[in-house]
A and B are shown apart, each in its own frame.
Chain A
Amino acid sequence: MRIIAIIERILKELFRDKRTLALMFIAPILVMLLMSVIFNTNSVTNVTVGTVGVSSKVTNEIKKIKHVHLKTYQTQEKAKHALTKQKIDAVIKQNGHNYHIMYANTDATKTAKVKLAFQNALTISNVKALKQALSKSTQANTQLKAQILALEQKVTQQKVKKQKAAQSPQSQKAAKISNTYVYGDHNTGYYDKILPILMSFFVFFFVFLISGMALLKERTSGTLNRLLATPVKRSVIIFGYMLSYGILAVIQTILIVLIVVWLLDIEVVGSMIAVVIMNLLLALVALAFGILLSTFANSEFQMMQFIPLVIVPQIFFSGLVPLDTMPTWIKALSYLIPLKYSGEAINGIILHGTSIFDLGFEITMLLLFLVILTSLNIWGLRRYRKV
């Protein structure tokens, strides 16, 4: 069987090439571990706010907010100086009844955090002031009423007491908010959303690169010509490549999925097997895609040139950024991007627990890519042998 000999040969070559193996298995894991650490520690934003002439009522409330530090400055100049020196992230200045906030705005999340913190602090201090005023007026009111009521009879006095009794527990009891999460828990962050997508992207990228390089090497070293000088069918060569790298992609995909799920503690609502199957399908598309593009490259460097052109744009369609608000032509373009389908499918499985049987459209599209690209590859070998 020629196809078995081809698979055997490719796997033998691969397992003797330790660096490529490391690239396929260790690199994606390393990158994802690193990203997980970086993204998760960055989920807490610390901001320092400078205040100039802000009343202590407001500053006290600001101090109470977590991850917000406060510095008081005497003059606006000093505060501005601190802002330019990046010691503080914003300056709040009170002008009579109004406030003016100047943001460094070098980090949008910090700006948003300061905005939110200040608004909260202001609302709380306003509410407190209101409460005080209210209790004062109610006190005065009740005193007045008591005086009137004292003049009146005891029957009505009881009524007021009842009213007070009904009022007081309401004002003391603060509303408690309890949270439940459909997916994940209170630690679920941005990284958890993009991780499934990154996972499939790595599968796509590494398989694309290595399979493309392999066939390129076969071509430039002349072994492809020699291979085609034997009676082996063109389709057998392509299927041999697809199967041998497919085996490798299975191992890589399972490894990456396991790392993501267990080591990085990502909750998978749907089936793990479905995640592996979708990634595998994507890996096969990447394989066929890599082989196809390698026929347009004359050297390893030219193969690398496809990365910014072909691989990087795929990230934008993979679901990292929501597509529904994009211009129509971009949306139309996205239908040609394999990562879009796998990204949607895998997000569905991991975040919403979508069954693989409900992903018929995505699976069909990926299979379509696979069939078209594989046929193009078999046809493309005609360049090197006409039969």
Chain B
Amino acid sequence: MQTNILELEHLAKSFGKKRVLADINLTVIPGEIIGLIGPSGAGKSTVIKIALGMEVATNGTAKIFQKEMPNRQLLSDIGYMAQTDALYMSLTGYENLHFFGVMKGLKASKLASAIEYVAAVVNLTADLNRRVVEYSGGMMRRLSLAIALLGDPQLLILDEPTVGIDPALRQQIWAELGRIKMTGRSILITTHVMDEAELVDRVALLLDGTVMAFDTPQKLKQLYQVDSVEKVFLKAEGVETCES
């Protein structure tokens, strides 16, 4: 039996009386990219927060590497990138990477080479000694991704990683995600860019607090009898699509 990297079982979450998640079931196996798609406010970020142990589920369990979350120690093997860039603006790119590297628990001996490696991946090597304030929006996103990649985590959780990034860079990032996947590591990614949803191995369609559908993009398109994930999404949401 395949071991699950991430396993969400009957996850439910309410904030006060407001129910955000009703029943979430999701698994991530080694070496696959899972796309979590859904409209704004569907609870994508809440799913991620519970998976990371920042929130505790009202019901159900979240397991990472077969261990129940929240679990602080497991966080060292998870790379997380939030919707916001979350960088220290007055520090240089290198100082940001160094700080988060230490926080992740990387050994001092490995830190320098790890920083060098992730900087090369996101093509920031030349700008590492500049302060983040001077960075462009795209550079900040790349640095943010580089921080998530520090320490070769087994699981990458990326919340809208390609927002505000130009197409060339987006392609570059997806290529890198593909390479990470090849090394047997897993990625959970949220997005609302539908053509990105075509690039993932399996799509989880989040709607009304439940996973409406969870399958490969091809199978979903067959199931909904449409030709793109975007239309799957619209159909699931109950929006009339303009048939051309």
Contacts and interface: CB of A to CB of B under 8 A. Distances in A.
Which 7 pairs, one residue from A and one from B, show the smallest C-beta to C-beta distance? A222-B86, A387-B70, A222-B84, A5-B102, A229-B80, A230-B103, A226-B86
B103 A384 contact: no
Interface in B43-87: 52-56, 70-76, 78, 80, 82-87
Given A12-B95, A13-B90, A16-B90, A225 B103 contact: no
Interface in B88-130: 88-91, 95, 98-100, 102-105
Nearest to A16: B90
A231 B72 contact: yes
B72 A226 contact: no
Nearest to B95: A12
B147 interface: yes
B105 A225 contact: no
Given A5-B102, A5-B103, A229 B84 contact: no
Interface string A113-148: 000000000000000000000000000000000000
Nearest to B105: A231
A17 interface: yes
A67 interface: no
Nearest to B74: A231
Interface in A1-20: 1-2, 5-6, 9, 12-13, 16-17
Contacts of B102: 1-2, 5
A15 to B, nearest CB: 9
B80 A226 contact: yes
A386 B52 CA distance: 10
A328 interface: no
Range for the number of chain B residues in contact with chain A: 20 to 34
A228 interface: yes
Secondary structure at the B interface, as helix, strand, loop or mixed, is loop
A229 B55 contact: no
A171 interface: no
A5 B99 contact: yes
Contacts of B87: 221, 223
A385 B70 contact: yes
A38 interface: no
27 contacts: A2-B105, A5-B98, A5-B99, A5-B102, A6-B103, A9-B91, A12-B90, A12-B91, A17-B90, A221-B86, A222-B86, A225-B86, A226-B80, A226-B82, A226-B100, A226-B147, A229-B75, A230-B103, A231-B72, A231-B104, A233-B72, A384-B54, A385-B70, A386-B54, A386-B70, A387-B53, A387-B70
Contacts of A227: 103
Contacts, number: 80
Contacts of B82: 222, 225-226, 229
A223 B86 contact: yes
Contact of B88 (A1, A223, A230, A386): A223
A355 to B, nearest CB: 43
Q: Which of A2, A223, A227 has the most CB of B within 10 A?
A: A223
A232 interface: yes
Contacts of A17: 90
B110 to A, nearest CB: 15
Interface of A: 1-2, 5-6, 9, 12-13, 16-17, 221-223, 225-233, 384-387
A229 B147 CA distance: 11
B95 A230 contact: no
A222 B85 CA distance: 7
Given A226-B147, A229-B80, A386 B55 contact: yes
Given A12-B90, A223-B88, 16 more contacts: A9-B91, A9-B95, A16-B90, A17-B90, A221-B87, A222-B82, A222-B83, A222-B86, A223-B87, A226-B100, A228-B54, A229-B78, A231-B74, A231-B104, A384-B54, A385-B70
A386 B105 CA distance: 20
A387 B73 CA distance: 10
A9 B52 contact: no
Contacts of B103: 2, 5-6, 227, 230-232
A13 B53 contact: no
A13 B147 contact: no
B54 A385 contact: yes
Contacts of B56: 386
Given A2-B102, A385-B70, A229 B91 contact: no
Contacts of A223: 86-88
Contacts of A5: 98-99, 102-103
B91 to A, nearest CB: 6
A120 B88 CA distance: 69
Contacts of B98: 5
Contact of B105 (A12, A221, A229, A230): A230
Contacts of A225: 54, 82, 86
A9 B103 CA distance: 11
B99 A229 contact: no
Contacts of B78: 229
Nearest to A3: B102
Contacts of A228: 54
